[in-house]
């Protein structure tokens, strides 16, 4: 005790020490304890949220890659179907044009033959009429003279 007295501590030092210990104990139990528990819980939740956020970002990247690959597959399928249909349409168009051309040539040929026949028929009728007219004129001139 003499050492404490020589250091300037008096009889109230023990009481002060006791008050210090009690206040530290009180603060530790009722203030610091709940604060540290809340802080630990917050850290757990925050760290968990970070992990969840990273997992969600990774999943989003994976889904984007899957989407891109499926979109490419669908585009290739659509292009294939389009090319097939375009080829079919080109073939059908070519066939229709060829058929139309053939039909037009046949119709033109038939029309030319019909025109030629009508021309020949008209010439023969003209010949016949000319012969008849000339006979009638001859008879009129011979009868009248």
Q: Which residues of the chain have pLDDT under 50?
A: none
Domain that holds residue 100: 2-144
Q: What whole-number distance in Å separates Cα of residue 46 and Cα of residue 40?
A: 10
What does the pLDDT read at residue 40? 86
| Percent of residues, the chain, with pLDDT higher than 70 | 96
pLDDT at residue 1, rounded to an integer: 61
* pLDDT value of residue 131: 92
Tokens 């949220």 -> residue: 49
Is this structure's pTM higher than 0.75? no
pLDDT for 127: 94
Q: How many domains does the chain have?
A: 1
Length of the chain: 145
The percentage of the chain sitting over the pLDDT mark of 90, rounded to a whole number, equals 63
Q: How many CA atoms lie within 13 A of 54 on its CB side?
A: 5
pLDDT of residue 52: 77
Burial annotation 96-126 (CB, 10 A radius, 16+ → b, else e): eeeeeeeeeeeeeeeeeeeeeeeeeeeeeee
């Amino acid at each position: 005790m003499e050492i404490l007295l020589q250091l300037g501590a008096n009889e109230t030092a023990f009481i002060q020490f006791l008050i210090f210990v009690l206040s530290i104990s009180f603060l530790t139990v009722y203030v610091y304890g709940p604060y540290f528990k809340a802080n630990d819980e917050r850290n757990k939740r925050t760290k968990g949220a970070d992990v969840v956020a990273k997992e969600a970002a990774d999943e989003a990247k994976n889904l984007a890659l899957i989407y891109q690959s499926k979109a490419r597959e669908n585009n290739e399928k659509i292009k294939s179907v389009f090319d097939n249909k375009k080829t079919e349409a080109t073939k059908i168009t070519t066939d229709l044009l060829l058929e139309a051309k053939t039909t037009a040539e046949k119709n033109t040929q038939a029309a030319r033959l019909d025109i030629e026949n009508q021309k020949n028929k008209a010439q023969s009728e003209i010949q016949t009429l000319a012969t008849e007219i000339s006979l009638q004129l001859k008879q009129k001139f011979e009868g009248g003279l």
